[in-house]
């Protein structure tokens, strides 16, 4: 069994979709949900699905090994970032080399970087009169949204679309593709594939 931990900072709708997708999977199990916000709705989603959850602070994440030790304790193999807004510590990236996967609500390298998340991305896309946007699933490295791209999916933007309209289109792409791409990556690791 390959174990995954989901990091999220907010509502956790992508986390919910991932949990549902892997609920009865023969080879992949969601072991843990972690968040940096004690009021994040993702905690309720974890509880509803009987998944253990952990709330941590900056000291536990960056200054000591508390979070890393929890991941080791739960025998986690892959880290999935689903709306998690902090930069991953170098030590964690090194421990889970090419096993930390993030999703971004734009077609990187456009509209990425610190402070570019959620509705802020969609507002920028609309303000710049883009004709298309999409999602980018990528490996995590030491910089925001700069890791190797694994997968992208696109959608059209109509001239009358608001940022909320764009957000709805992006959510559909996320729910459709993120769990499937996670599964493909995890199942290919250890079988001689370069993912």
Cα gap 131→46, rounded to integer Å? 36
Beta bridge partners of 5: 32, 79
* Residue whose entry in the numeric block shows the structure tokens 């390298």: 109
Q: 25, 104, 122, 171: which one is catalytic? A: 104
Residues written for the chain: 195
Cα gap 145→101, rounded to integer Å? 11
User: Helix, strand, coil % (nearest 5) of the chain?
Assistant: 35, 20, 40
Our answer to whether residue 177 is catalytic in this structure is: no
Cα gap 116→60, rounded to integer Å? 24
Active site residues: 104
């Amino acid at each position: 069994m390959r174990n995954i931990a989901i990091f999220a900072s907010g509502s956790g709708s992508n986390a919910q979709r991932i949990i549902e997708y892997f609920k009865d999977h023969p080879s992949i199990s969601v072991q843990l949900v972690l968040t940096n916000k004690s009021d994040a709705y993702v905690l309720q989603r974890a509880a509803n699905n009987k998944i253990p959850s952990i709330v941590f602070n900056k000291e536990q994440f960056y200054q000591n090994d508390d979070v890393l030790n929890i991941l080791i304790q739960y025998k986690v193999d892959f880290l999935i970032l689903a709306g998690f807004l902090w930069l991953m510590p170098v030590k964690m990236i090194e421990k889970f080399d090419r096993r930390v996967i993030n999703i971004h609500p734009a077609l990187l390298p456009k509209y990425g970087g610190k402070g570019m998340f959620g509705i802020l991305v969609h507002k920028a896309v609309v303000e710049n009169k883009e004709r298309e946007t999409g999602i980018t699933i990528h490996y995590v490295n030491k910089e925001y949204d700069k890791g190797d791209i694994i997968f992208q999916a696109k959608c059209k933007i109509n001239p009358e679309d608001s940022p909320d309209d764009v957000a709805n289109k992006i959510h559909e792409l996320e729910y459709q593709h993120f769990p499937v791409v996670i599964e493909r990556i995890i199942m290919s690791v250890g079988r001689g594939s370069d993912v």
